[in-house]
Amino acid sequence: MKLPDRKCVLSLGAHPDDAEFLCAGTLALLQQQGWEVHIASLAAGDKGSAVLGRAEISRIRRAEGQRAADLLGGQFHCLECEDIYILYDRETINRATALMRRVKPSLVITTSPSDYMVDHEVASRVTQTACFASGIKNMEVDEDPFEPVPWLYYMDPVESKDRFGQTVIPGIWVDITSVMETKVDMLCCHASQRDWLMAHHGVDEYVDMMKDGGRLRGREIQRTFAEGFRQHLGHSFPQEDLLQSALGDWVVTKE
Sign of CA dihedral 122, 127, 128, 129: positive
Residue 1 lies in a domain: no
Is residue 2 one of the residues assigned to a domain?
no
Q: Find out whether 59 and 49 touch, Cβ atoms under 8 Å.
A: no
SS3 164: coil
Please indicate, yes or no, if residue 106 is contained in any of the structural domains.
yes
Q: What share of the chain is helix, strand, coil (3-state, %, to 5)?
A: 45, 20, 40
The domain total for the chain is: 1
Structure confidence at residue 51 as a pLDDT band (50, 70, 90): confident
Q: What is the CATH number of the domain that holds 167?
A: 3.40.50.10320
Local confidence band at 78 (pLDDT 50, 70, 90 cut-offs) = very high
| Within a domain: 182 | yes
Q: Is the pLDDT of residue 105 over 90?
A: yes
Does residue 3 lie in a domain region? no
Average pLDDT over residues 77-92: 97
Q: Is the pLDDT of residue 15 over 80?
A: yes
Tens digit of pLDDT for each residue in 175-196? Answer: 999 999 999 999 999 988 877 6
Residue 230 lies inside a defined structural domain of this protein: yes
Please state the pTM of the whole predicted model: 0.95
Parallel, antiparallel or unpaired: strands 75-81 and 8-13: unpaired
Per-residue pLDDT, averaged over 1-9, amounts to 94
Please, which pLDDT band fits residue 50 given cuts at 50, 70 and 90?
Answer: confident
Burial of 100 (0-12, 13-18, 19+ CB in 10 A): buried
* Residue range of the domain that includes 70: 8-253
Domain membership flag for residue 50: yes
Is 229 part of any domain? yes
- Identify the pLDDT of residue 204: 57
